[in-house]
């Protein structure tokens, strides 16, 4: 399998990636002065807020409307979130609703590059003619301190996968080989494409 050429980029300078646990705790506890705030701390804090928002929403939703309804909401958020984002990428690349393993790899890499330091754990996707594979040991949609909310991560994840399939007629299915929310030490997800899938207009590509 291969990666996109940009995978050789050095991520050591990604803002917030190398903050120590003590520095992260200081930011989480608001134990800092505005004039001392660095770019690394700002990027970390914004990404952490996204993660916290997800977890707080699920906790409150379960308390107010119950687990079953909260799971349905998580699933629908995932369906719109994943499918909508991937559809934008396909449209931007002139692919319509026909993607490929390479297009999925590019989308996954873009998504994991712009949503904060924790998401960079998923960089970089690997792909061949029939599949795109992402491996990671951390995810902003799963909070290790709230494992009881893992079921919502799973529902959100399944919604994302359904959204991907709906957005791309070349995508056959998504297979989860292991995942943090299930209790595994890491995640590995494979997007399986139909044999011979070609991105974009098939006739224009010589198919």
Choice between 8 and 31, residue whose per-residue pLDDT is larger: 31
Find how far residue 187's CA is from the centre of its chain. Answer: 11
Residues near 206 by beta carbon (within 8 Å), at least 6 away in sequence = none
Neighbours of 63 (CB within 10 A): 10
* Confidence tier at 11 by pLDDT (50, 70, 90): low
Angle between helix axes 67-92 and 39-65 (nearest 10 degrees) is: 140
- Inform me whether the pLDDT recorded for 102 exceeds 60: yes
Alpha helices in the chain (DSSP H): 21-28, 39-65, 67-92, 101-113, 150-167
- Inform me whether the pLDDT recorded for 92 exceeds 70: yes
pLDDT of res. 93: 92
- Inform me whether the pLDDT recorded for 34 exceeds 80: yes
Taking the C-alpha atoms of residue 174 and residue 92, their distance in angstroms, rounded to an integer, is 23
CB distance 93 to 111 below 8 Å = no
Compute the average pLDDT of residues 175-196.
92
CB distance 37 to 6 below 8 Å = no
Predicted TM-score (pTM) of the model is: 0.85
pLDDT of res. 144: 83
- Give pLDDT tens digits for 121-143: 889 999 999 999 999 988 878 88
- Inform me whether the pLDDT recorded for 21 exceeds 80: yes
- Inform me whether the pLDDT recorded for 202 exceeds 60: no
Percent of residues, the chain, with pLDDT higher than 90 = 57
Domains of the chain listed by start with CATH number:
14-193 (3.30.1380.20)
**Closest CA relative to residue 122, chosen from 131, 130, 113, 30:** 113
- Give pLDDT tens digits for 104-124: 999 999 999 888 888 888 899
- Give pLDDT tens digits for 147-158: 888 999 999 999
């Amino acid at each position: 399998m291969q990666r996109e050429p940009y995978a050789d980029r050095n991520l050591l300078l990604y803002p917030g990636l190398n903050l120590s646990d003590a520095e992260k705790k200081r930011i989480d506890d608001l134990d800092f002065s505005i004039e001392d705030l660095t770019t690394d701390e700002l990027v970390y804090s914004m990404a952490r807020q996204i993660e916290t928002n997800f977890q707080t929403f699920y906790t409150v939703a379960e308390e107010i409307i119950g687990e079953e309804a909260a799971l349905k909401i998580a699933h629908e958020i995932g369906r719109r979130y994943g499918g909508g984002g991937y559809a934008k990428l396909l449209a931007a690349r002139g692919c319509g609703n026909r993607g490929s393993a390479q297009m999925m790899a590019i989308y996954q890499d873009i998504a994991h590059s712009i949503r904060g330091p924790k998401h960079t754990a998923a960089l970089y996707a690997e792909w061949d003619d029939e599949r795109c594979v992402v491996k990671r040991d951390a995810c902003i949609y799963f909070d290790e301190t709230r494992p009881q909310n893992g079921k919502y991560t799973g529902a959100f994840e399944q919604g994302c996968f359904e959204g991907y399939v709906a957005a791309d007629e070349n995508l056959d299915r998504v297979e989860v080989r292991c995942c943090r929310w299930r209790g595994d030490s890491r995640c590995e997800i494979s997007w399986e494409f139909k044999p011979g899938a070609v991105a974009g207009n098939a006739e224009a590509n010589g198919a």
